[in-house]
Structure 1
């Protein structure tokens, strides 16, 4: 086995030999809950914020990590994450009317427009039926349609009976978490893959039965050809800031191995193209054993692409 995306290089400033790969992305973070200053040093060049104050996120400096964001969670009064200690009102917007007309108070289009006008690259909705009320079918459809009109994909936190199917039926582009609260059926997996839906991994936030179910569900999804995105839900509990070795090992356990693991890390979603000004550098030659790839990748750092000289 060889990693097709890795190429041998030497760093110009240090003369250190190693391997280069495209920039790594953590596709699920919450920047208001972490200190992001060390992310690049520890291998993450870009992040996707999936729930924060859209106006604060819009004012972030343009350096590393490069940030795309969804803005606020779209939910209903009393629905997740309304009232959580970690979720101030600035990161929650209520959708109480399925209207697709601009400017309607509580309207689906109004909520989408606010995030889009602030610079959001995608829209986040909460379908967490285990934690309270959720968007109605009409409101969910209106959010997805309004986001589509603005050229934005929709990502959903889908948890609780029927919510994964609702997300698929509504045309949600990605799930913020691999389903973990119940096994997914072969029919659900087939429908999600056929719809082109992506699943963000977030396996390391779980323990026990939830972890086992998430890994099993992701294994079925990946085996069917589903699009898997590396994401950690950074800010949720005690997670390492940077490339998370435990997340990579869990992905490997789910059958996302070798080149597929690198693809999950380097997929530019929701951007159209990967970053080209920076690359990932890992000291030493790329491993030839799939079982060693996760640990090797966890030693990554971000460097300017111009600093790397190909040596093969």
Structure 2
């Protein structure tokens, strides 16, 4: 390969490196392991993820018991929220894709352990099964949501365990409700309301992270436009963006989503920023012993990056030989 490492680093920053695979001699580019920060493993074939370029995932709604039984070194590496925490009758309770074991309805803001329907009881359960984050549903478009007192209690209980809180926000005022309660991460870029610059600046100042999931709006142009504008403003203001696809929502390839990457690019998350969103292992450590390999020549322009990343696969780190000289 006659690729120029200087040009590659100028285009994409310090993460990529020219390399070749020891067993095959195939040339390409290596990256740190890629993470999809929003998946639902019970709805997809998780075993196809590494071949599709994804080494780590954050499951944002599943059976906490099942996750606790996973082998720690299984691929992909999985961090998880455990069950959705929601208001009585709130989203996603009752949905065909959301069996009872993945939903906990909270009816009492009690901070005392063991209270039926209590905020601390639900959070304690997820923590006891090894959750890395706590997920709350604030979907006012699909049913009841927590009042501020109950949401504050959930956030306080999670933070008491050292766990960040991730919120699905949908409907007018839900982004503000999450921000005022101290929610750490949004599971989706807000897509039902255009956010003003003041609210976005508050989110950035608070250190809030947003998981992208722009690609789920392909059949809904108004939602796509709103999400893209919100994410562009958040990123431009210095907000921390994480790549996430809501994989399991719809029939899509299991692996890197080129459409999501292209949508991020259109929102101004390009080049080095795009790789940072993909390679950030939050909320866990990066998977050990593996790397990303993208065969062939590196991209020549920012417009080529999304399609190029679609060829990524996960390989053992020891299989890659540095060719970056």
1:249 aligns to 2:262 (yes or no):
yes
The Cα of 1:14 is off from its aligned counterpart by 1.0
* C-alpha distance in structure 1 between counterparts of 2:159 and 2:241, whole Å: 22
Among candidates 259, 281, 288, match of residue 268 of structure 1: 281
Find the partner of 2:181 among 167, 170, 176.
Answer: 170
Alignment counterpart, residue 43 of structure 1, candidates 53, 58, 65: 53
Match of 1:299 in 2: 311
1:14 to 14, 24, 45: 24
Runs of 4+ in structure 1 off by over 3 angstroms are none
- Aligned counterpart, 2:248: 235
Cα deviations across residues 77-96 of structure 1 (Å, max 9, x unaligned)?
A: 21000111101000000111
Residue 63 of structure 1: which of 59, 74, 80 is its match?
A: 74
Deviations 1:141-170 (A, max 9, x none): 011111111010000001111110011111
Alignment of 1:198-237 (within 5 A): 198-206=209-217, 207-237=220-250
Distance (whole Å) between structure 2 residues aligned to residue 117 and residue 91 of structure 1: 15
Q: CA deviation at 1:275?
A: 2.3
SS of match in other structure, 1:205:
helix
Alignment check: 8 A CA contact 1:6 1:286 kept:
no
Does the Cα contact within 8 Å between 2:15 and 2:31 map onto a contact in 1? yes
Deviations 1:108-162 (A, max 9, x none): 1110010000110000000001111111111100111111110100000011111
Q: How does 1:86-235 map to 2 (within 5 A)?
A: 86-206=97-217, 207-235=220-248
Deviations 1:226-257 (A, max 9, x none): 10000000001122210000000000000000
8 Å Cα contact 1:190/1:224 also seen in 2: yes
Residue 76 of structure 1 is matched in structure 2 by 87
Choose 98-107 or 253-262, whichever is displaced more.
Answer: 98-107
How far apart are residue 58 of structure 1 and its match? 1.6
State the shift of 1:47 in Å: 0.5
SS of equivalent to 1:221: helix
Name the TM-score, length of structure 2 as normaliser.
0.94
Secondary structure of the residue aligned to 1:131 is coil
Work out whether residues 22 and 279 of structure 1, in 8 Å CA contact, stay in contact via their aligned partners in 2. Answer: yes
Distance in 2 (CA, whole Å) between partners of 1:2 and 1:237 is 33
3-state DSSP of counterpart to 1:2: helix
Alignment coverage as a number of residue pairs? 311
| CA apart distance, 1:298 | 1.0
Q: What root-mean-square deviation, in Å, do the aligned CA atoms of Structure 1 and Structure 2 show?
A: 0.9
Q: Which residue of 2 aligns with 1:28?
A: 38
TM-score, L = length of structure 1: 0.98
Unaligned runs of 5+ in 1: none
Which position in structure 2 is the counterpart of 1:2?
11
Query: Gaps spanning 5+ residues in structure 2: where?
Result: 1-9
Paired with 1:235 and 1:130, the residues of 2 have a C-alpha distance of 21
